[in-house]
């Protein structure tokens, strides 16, 4: 032990926490390793105090007249928590991320002038030209990678933008300490991180068991059962908590259900405006709401010591993510409750994210070839999408992989090929995918194990403990909370789910193509209604069965529900007729629209015709979807009387370009208002895991 460093470090934490303060096991060792210029990796459970390591190191470094600390962190919510802690030590801190652009020049000037002790920065911001230029002009005393498992594509939360940190690690002089921290790294990830950090890495690794967490597993297959259990039992739980969902849409729907039933709840995900997420965070932090219904956007680093419960509405992708998320609870309280639910849709959602994690060889090759063909002039992302039928998010993912693997580079807004010949790294991608499948199986085993649940989890994370927690459902031998909801709550949940509708937001501008001539702005349809999410339990399942049944037809329940939804709208908007999107392959939509018109008491008028054999579902991005729809529909020649206000019916919508083009044609024929109505939405736009 270095007595001088120990004495000074101890004085710092006494200043922060009082004269009786002491280091937790392993904390001082990590501080000394970092300050003696060894590259250090800290793997400790949530709530252990990993951020204290770099705060104390920063204080000692600055007291000795050394350079500032740079902390790279992936999450904005993490930064706000940490700034408050650092300021308690008297450290001058600032944040550089997408939400602080207006202060960026001010913060960069403070860095150059030596006025800042510590800067928290996202990897995306770190690699901007202006920040990279500023870093050339400052002295770095400590470089920290928080949530270091994000560097490793073996990790549960691998992030492409983090891979570029390898270059900084390799370039950093060995006189500058480098510290990586994480709570979620198993042996495979640790080995990868040690290799990336370089020789002689000091690893601080502690036990992972969280003895304040009571875990209970709930086998509730349907959304209605899970909604009902949450409604019945959340009021019985003391304090405030978090409910995790796999998708943004589930967050919004569940939060709406709780609000409707007088439980103070807010949704929280990356699809919301920043002001809204900050407001929701503040309400939770100040105990002004009962529950935040969140995606993994609130996963890493959120520090609120008295979170009393965490509920998983669906299974997370793997045990590492689950361990990390339940770690939000029970930090400064003796007992916190966690509940893991499993649903019918869990595996489909998990499979979607596993199967789309890497670009396909065809996607990567096609995009690389387009960039290579424009090697001299370069090509923008928008022009790439105009030349290839690929979804926007898939194109962006392929571009990131090609860039990170050094096959292409970006200058300004354009991409250029490098001197490296393209090779698809199939063997590595397949190996990572197999790991994801194995992790998926581990979650299934957790749902069925009779072992201590906490012990099972930490054993899967390569913590070999043989101790039981003593407080989980399996250790107790009985459930502390009911394992199924009461019937009145199920009926309440069913009523809410059956009333859920998805708005059809109209497109207002044509895609970036030339076929529409000089017309750019569209006279938009009215905001319409979609009855369900395709394949979801309830109406979404009925749509799927009807679409692919033998014969293909939609049942009376769907017709009756659709009619009950539309009758009020027809009366309010003075709609006088129904028409439909035609098909060359089937009359299922027309038959449905005819029946719907009969139930609503207004005429069905066929006004559109279909030509061309290319299916819209095969079109992947807006340019191709818009052009295919434009080429596929026209007005019928035999229209005698054009209704001024009409419902336009389709069975399944995705991009909304079919509805847009058909609505536009009806408008040009003389319709004043076109109201879109569809049975199901099959788009993936709300299947965002953050």
Q: What's the pLDDT score for residue 299?
A: 63
Same domain, 568 and 658: yes
Q: What's the pLDDT score for residue 686?
A: 45
Number of C-beta neighbours around residue 658 at 10 A: 26
Q: What's the pLDDT score for residue 246?
A: 87
Q: Is residue 7 part of a domain?
A: yes
Listed as ranges, residues in the chain with pLDDT below 70 are 75-82, 155-158, 199, 299-303, 512-520, 613, 684-690
Contacts of 647 (CB under 8 A, 6+ apart): 566, 569, 570, 575, 577, 578, 579, 675, 676, 677
Q: What's the pLDDT score for residue 252?
A: 93
Same domain, 131 and 30: yes
Sign of CA dihedral 258, 299, 283, 247: negative
SS3 93: strand
User: What is the pTM (predicted TM-score) of this model?
Assistant: 0.84
- Choose the final residue of a domain: 186, 205, 224: 205
Q: What is the CATH number of the domain that holds 329?
A: 3.40.50.300
Same domain, 388 and 490: no
CA distances from 38 to 31, 35, 545, 644, 647 (A): 10, 7, 61, 76, 69
Same domain, 551 and 665: yes
Residue 421 belongs to domain spanning? 363-427
Q: What's the pLDDT score for residue 75?
A: 62
pLDDT (tens digit per residue) in 613-672: 678 888 888 888 888 898 899 999 888 888 999 999 999 999 899 999 999 999 999 999
Q: Is residue 625 part of a domain?
A: yes
Q: Is residue 357 part of a domain?
A: no
Q: What is the CATH number of the domain that holds 618?
A: 3.40.50.2020
Same domain, 493 and 507: no
Q: What's the pLDDT score for residue 597?
A: 96
Q: Is residue 437 part of a domain?
A: no
Same domain, 473 and 391: no
Q: Is residue 391 part of a domain?
A: yes
Left (φ > 0), alpha (ψ -120 to 50) or beta: where does 406 sit? Answer: left
Q: What's the pLDDT score for residue 181?
A: 92
Calpha distance 653→97 (Å, rounded)? 36
Q: Is residue 686 part of a domain?
A: no
Residue 521 contacts residue 508 (beta carbons within 8 Å): yes
pLDDT (tens digit per residue) in 528-547: 999 998 887 778 889 999 99
Same domain, 56 and 122: yes
Same domain, 337 and 482: yes
Same domain, 468 and 602: no
Q: Is residue 439 part of a domain?
A: no
Contacts of 232 (CB under 8 A, 6+ apart): 482, 485, 486, 489
SS3 573: coil
What is the end-to-end Cα distance of the chain in Å, rounded?
43
Query: Would you mind telling me the total number of residues written for the chain in this entry?
Result: 690
Strands 608-610 vs 408-411: parallel, antiparallel or unpaired: unpaired
CB-based burial, 587-621: b 16+ in 10 Å, e otherwise: ebbbbbbbbbbebbebebbebbeeeeeeebeebbb
Same domain, 283 and 187: no
Number of domains, the chain: 4
- Choose the final residue of a domain: 373, 397, 427: 427
């Amino acid at each position: 032990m270095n007595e001088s460093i120990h004495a000074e470090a101890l004085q710092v934490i006494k200043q922060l926490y009082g004269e009786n303060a002491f280091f937790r096991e392993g904390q001082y060792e990590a501080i000394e390793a970092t300050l003696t210029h060894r590259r250090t990796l800290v793997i400790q459970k949530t709530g252990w105090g990993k951020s204290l390591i770099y705060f104390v190191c920063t204080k000692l470094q600055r007291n000795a007249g050394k350079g500032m600390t740079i902390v790279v962190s992936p999450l904005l919510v993490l930064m706000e928590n940490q700034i408050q802690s650092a300021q308690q030590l008297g450290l001058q801190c600032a944040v550089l991320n997408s939400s602080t652009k207006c202060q960026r020049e001010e913060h960069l000037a403070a860095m150059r002038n030596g006025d800042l002790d510590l800067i928290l920065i996202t990897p995306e911001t770190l690699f901007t030209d202006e920040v990279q230029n500023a870093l050339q002009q400052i002295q770095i005393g400590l470089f920290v990678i928080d949530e270091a498992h994000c560097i490793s594509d073996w990790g549960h939360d691998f992030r492409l933008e983090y891979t570029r940190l390898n270059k900084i690690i390799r370039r950093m002089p060995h006189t500058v300490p480098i510290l990586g921290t994480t709570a979620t790294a198993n042996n495979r990830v640790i080995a990868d991180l040690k290799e990336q950090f370089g020789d002689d890495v000091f690893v601080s690794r502690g036990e992972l068991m969280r003895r304040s967490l009571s875990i209970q597993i709930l086998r509730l297959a349907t959304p209605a059962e899970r909604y009902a259990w949450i409604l019945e039992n959340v009021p019985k739980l003391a304090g405030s908590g978090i409910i995790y969902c796999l998708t943004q849409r589930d967050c919004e729907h569940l939060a709406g259900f709780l609000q409707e039933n007088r439980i103070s709840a807010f949704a929280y995900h990356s699809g919301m405006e920043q002001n809204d997420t900050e407001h929701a965070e503040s309400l939770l932090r100040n105990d002004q709401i009962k529950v935040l219904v969140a995606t993994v956007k609130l996963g890493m680093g959120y520090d609120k010591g008295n979170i009393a419960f965490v509920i998983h509405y669906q299974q997370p992708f793997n045990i590492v993510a689950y361990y990390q998320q339940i770690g939000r609870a029970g930090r400064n309280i003796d007992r916190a409750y966690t509940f893991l639910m499993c649903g019918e849709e869990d595996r489909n959602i998990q499979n979607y994210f596993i199967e789309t994690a890497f670009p396909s060889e065809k996607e990567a090759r096609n995009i690389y070839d387009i960039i290579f063909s424009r090697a001299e002039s370069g090509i923008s992302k928008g022009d790439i999408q105009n030349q290839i039928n690929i979804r926007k998010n898939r194109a962006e993912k392929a571009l990131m992989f090609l860039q990170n693997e050094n096959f292409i580079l970006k200058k300004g807004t354009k991409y250029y090929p490098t001197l490296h010949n393209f090779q698809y790294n199939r063997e590595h991608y397949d190996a990572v995918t197999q790991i994801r499948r194995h992790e998926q199986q581990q979650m299934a085993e957790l749902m069925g194990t009779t072992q201590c649940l906490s012990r099972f989890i930490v054993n899967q994370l390569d913590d070999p403990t043989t101790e039981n927690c003593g407080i989980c459902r399996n250790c107790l031998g009985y459930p502390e909370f009911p394992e199924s909801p009461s019937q009145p709550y199920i009926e309440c949940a069913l009523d809410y789910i059956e009333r859920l509708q998805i708005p059809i937001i109209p497109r207002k501008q044509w895609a970036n193509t030339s076929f529409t001539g000089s017309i750019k702005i569209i006279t938009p349809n009215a905001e319409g209604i979609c009855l369900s999410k395709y394949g979801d339990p309830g109406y979404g399942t009925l749509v799927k069965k009807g679409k692919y049944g033998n014969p293909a037809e939609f049942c009376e329940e769907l017709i009756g529900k659709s009619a009950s939804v539309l009758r009020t709208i027809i009366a309010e908007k003075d709609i006088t007729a129904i028409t439909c999107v035609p098909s060359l392959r089937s009359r299922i939509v027309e038959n449905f629209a005819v029946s719907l018109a009969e139930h609503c008491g207004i005429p069905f008028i066929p006004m559109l015709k279909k030509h061309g054999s290319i299916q819209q579902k095969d079109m992947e991005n807006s340019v191709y979807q818009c052009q295919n729809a434009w080429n596929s529909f026209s007005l019928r020649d035999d229209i005698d009387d054009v209704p001024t206000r009409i419902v336009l019916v389709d069975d399944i919508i995705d991009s909304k370009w079919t509805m847009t083009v058909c609505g536009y044609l009806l408008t040009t024929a003389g319709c004043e208002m076109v109201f879109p109505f569809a049975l199901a939405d099959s788009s993936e736009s709300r299947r965002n895991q953050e």
